[in-house]
């Protein structure tokens, strides 16, 4: 399970919404493409950590996908957008 880094904890999350008008777009963040996650929380933590690495403080989660692992469980991937919002 991916844990939040100290700076990742500072990243706020919104789901499938648009950021405030003054938010600066920093880039697309993806999780689970090379390493799948067995919990949705792990994907969100990984995305928040990646936003923090880009210097952002807001994650807009656009998609989280669950895929059957073929053994009765699921694996998760996700994608979002990183922003910096002035505080």
Give the Å distances, CA to CA, from 8 to 53, 58, 68, 69: 8, 10, 28, 28
Does the structure show a pLDDT above 70 at 32?
Answer: yes
Across residues 56-68, what is the average pLDDT? 94
What pTM, to 2 d.p., does this model score?
0.91
pLDDT tens sequence across 4-20: 999 999 999 999 889 99
pLDDT of residue 67: 87
Q: Which domains does the chain have, with CATH numbers?
A: 8-84 (3.30.110.70)
Q: Of the given ranges (14-18, 31-35, 77-81), which has the lowest mean pLDDT?
A: 31-35
**49: its two tokens:** 């950590």
Query: Would strands 74-84 and 24-31 be described as parallel, antiparallel, or unpaired?
Result: antiparallel
């Amino acid at each position: 399970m991916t844990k939040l880094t100290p700076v990742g904890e500072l990243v706020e999350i919104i789901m499938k919404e648009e950021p405030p008008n003054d938010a600066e777009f920093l880039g697309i963040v993806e999780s689970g493409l090379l390493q799948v996650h067995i919990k949705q929380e792990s994907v969100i933590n990984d995305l928040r950590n990646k936003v923090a690495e880009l210097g952002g403080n807001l994650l807009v989660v656009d998609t989280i996908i669950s895929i059957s692992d073929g053994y009765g469980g699921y694996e998760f991937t996700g994608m979002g957008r990183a922003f910096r919002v002035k505080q």
